[in-house]
Amino acid sequence: MALRNKLHSLPKADVHNHFHLSGAVELLKEHYPDVQFETPGSFDGFDGMMHFIIQNVNALMQSSDDVIMLMDIGIRSSINDNVKHLEASVDLGLKKYFDNSLEALINAVGQLKEKYKTEIDFRPEIGFKKSSELDEVYRDGIVCIESEVFTGIDLYGEESYQDLSGFKEIFQEARVRSKKTKVHIGEFSNAQSIVEAIETLGPDEIQHGIRAADSEETIQLILDRKIRLNICPHSNVALKAVSSLKEHPIRKLYDKGVNITINTDDYLLFNSTITDQFEDLIQQGLFTFEEIDEIRQNALQGF
């Protein structure tokens, strides 16, 4: 308990977070007491997770008020874990709950930034699925990155056998406007897919990227490009991308000098805070407290 209290008291950053999936289950049930929402503990890979979201989370979202509530719960959950800096992706597809008004979605996110500005440094990112229509991504993405609300972009979805070249232009536009760029790759896909994503999109950061550990050349490219890997260990285990925390390649990546952070991914699905993960990584002998504290501080640098 002493270790947990010590870890909880430390200020943290969460930089791999899907906003409307980032709330604590107990807070969700406070607002939706009739909803029977139980996280399964593990999922049958990415497809199993998506099925759970469709059946359980999407069923809650009947209006823009529901989406705003889920996002609000996400911020409060971060604050409860003493997260001081939050980078969370807002899925572009959520605009359908706002009568397909992108302006309404942007305004809602902006109002949440204003509401919690004294409690947390919240920097929302506009998120795109790899299956999205490219014309819509570019049209709406430009509006978002030109707004004063969004500070970056995040590309996610299926990892293997994906042609990412269609997203090259929006990544370039984001860089021109000094917005942070992120791409999900290398959780289920191989090390070569990470190389291809880096060479195609030139991201600032990679969400997951754990399969880089399988290739010295990929690790070296990440080091050369000074790319940070925003890793979510409990998520990786729950989705069976790795068999256990003990077998997680995060330690190898750290030992190779890769800049890593530890994040929640989807707290609503995986029921694991950053404090939970820090504690488990120490108790299972993967890291010392001092090493975890170094990783924690690295995540907060520059803010």
Residues labelled catalytic? 187
- For 87: left if phi > 0, alpha if psi spans -120 to 50, otherwise beta; the answer is beta
Look up tokens 């030992």; give the residue: 255
Q: How far apart are CA 272 and CA 232, in angstroms?
A: 10
Cα separations in angstroms, 115 against 82, 99, 159, 249: 17, 23, 35, 38
Residues 6+ apart with CB under 8 A from 5: none
Q: How far apart are CA 280 and CA 248, in angstroms?
A: 12
Amino acid residing at 263? N
With residue 87 as reference, give the H or E element that holds it. strand 83-91
Rg (CA), the chain: 18
> Is residue 71 within 8 Å of residue 112, measured between CB atoms?
yes
With residue 185 as reference, give the H or E element that holds it. strand 180-185
